[in-house]
Structure 1
């Protein structure tokens, strides 16, 4: 039982407020968009005959 309580505490510590979570994800998405664009450009250059 003690172990379970400890696990619960550590899970609680990992919970992120929704706003912060969404902000992290939008930042992540923006970063991924940049990567995608870079990849598309690289692909276009590579596929040029």
Structure 2
């Protein structure tokens, strides 16, 4: 999932450089959402790993 976040971030940066404002904003929004989903899943994985011992 982190791979998809990086892909959308790169698409947003390229679109922003080329002047496609709407596409850049959409890709950046998707990248932000995926990053936070990845972060939450990572924290849950750490907590469950510590609970098992």
Under TM normalisation by the shorter chain, which class is it? 0.5 to 0.7
Q: Structure 2 length normalisation: TM-score?
A: 0.57
Greater RCO structure (CA 8 Å; 6+ sep)? 2
1:45 aligns with 2:23: no
TM-score for the superposition, normalised by structure 1: 0.61
1:4-39 Cα deviation digits (max 9, x unpaired): xxxxxxxxxx61411110110000111111111110
Runs of at least 5 residues in structure 2 that lack an aligned partner in the other structure? 1-16
Q: Which runs of 4+ in 1 moved over 2 A?
A: none
Alignment root-mean-square deviation, CA: 1.6
Q: Counting helix residues as a fraction of each chain, which structure ranks higher?
A: 2
- Separation in structure 1 between the aligned mates of residue 51 and residue 30 of structure 2, nearest angstrom: 32
Larger Rg: 1
